Amino acid sequence: MQNVAIVELGGKGVFVKEIETELLNGSIDIAVHSMKDVPVELPPGLEMVAYPEREDPRDVLVTRNNVKFEELRRGARIGTGSLRRRMQLLNAMPDLAVMPLRGNVMTRIKKIETDELDGIVLAAAGMRRIGLQHLVSQYLDPDLMVPAAGQGVLGIEIRADDNDLRERLSFLNHEETVIEIKAERSFLRRLGGGCQVPIAGFARLKGRMLKIRGIVGTPDGRRLVDDTLRGGRDEAEKLGEALADSLLDKGAGEILAME
């Protein structure tokens, strides 16, 4: 259903709903998700029990002739299905023509030719996981393109009453990734935003210092509310909530109300 927007299909939860149904009815025991696709509220009876080490969280640009972002021509046609990417692309270069894009990675890459696009923006993690990093024209610095909350993170979900499996999977947990994803998801939860409003949220742990940046904006990139907070590694959830409160105080609530 590549001609239908994600928001019309039911939002990001559409990617995980069927898998979670199988988990709840006992057909499977373990679900593996890309955390940027997982709603902040899980269905009753399910629990995220492990987060392996985070893959590269950045976004990447794949272009004709290996052109870099700063070299794009005026009016360049860039494909993405993400409102978050659209918001930041247009904020940085208002004269871009951002085109809707759906499908798996190879389908999107082929559309550079079939849809006469100058380039597309994808997640680095997806390109690396399927061995297509050689096609990347540019890794976009997180200061230029703030990643989505959970980007590059896998989440392992089980039934909440399966204590034996929880213990057996605990070795997969990566401590630094757990701290970052806690901050990012508490940020999203506090905002209460859905798919209709672009939201970026990215936490990075260095030593004992945790830094998290968040953006809420309009899809046309004309209005952005942006802030960054820092705190200790043991303050992840509080820091995420504090960042959300800061953005709400700056006007993010008004933007979110447009959903």
Does the pLDDT at position 223 exceed 60? yes
Report the C-alpha gap between 19 and 52 in whole angstroms: 19
- Angle (CA) 121-188-251 rounded to 5° is 90
Strand order in the sheet with 31-34: 31-34, 154-159, 46-50
**Mean pLDDT computed over 244-251:** 97
Domain ranges of the chain: 6-55+149-256, 59-140
What residues act catalytically?
Answer: 37
Question: Could you report the per-residue pLDDT of 168-196, keeping only the tens digit for each?
Answer: 999 999 999 999 999 999 999 999 865 57
Predicted pLDDT of residue 195: 59
Question: Could you report the per-residue pLDDT of 25-77, keeping only the tens digit for each?
Answer: 999 999 999 999 999 999 999 999 999 999 999 999 999 999 999 999 999 99
6-55+149-256: CATH architecture? 2-Layer Sandwich (3.30)
Question: Could you report the per-residue pLDDT of 75-110, keeping only the tens digit for each?
Answer: 999 999 999 999 999 999 999 999 999 889 999 999
Q: Nearest 5°: phi and psi at 138?
A: -165, 135
59-140: CATH architecture? 3-Layer(aba) Sandwich (3.40)
| pTM of this structure | 0.91
Burial 197-230 (b: 16+ CB within 10 A, else e): bbbbbbbbbeeeebbbbbbbbbbebeebbbbebe
CB 202 within 8 A of CB 149: yes
Do the bridges between strand 154-159 and strand 31-34 make them parallel or antiparallel, or are there none, so unpaired? antiparallel
**Mean pLDDT computed over 119-140:** 97
Report the C-alpha gap between 65 and 218 in whole angstroms: 31
- Give the three-state DSSP class for 67: coil
What does the mean pLDDT of the chain come to? Answer: 93
Conformation bin of residue 86: beta by default, left when phi > 0, alpha when psi is -120 to 50: alpha
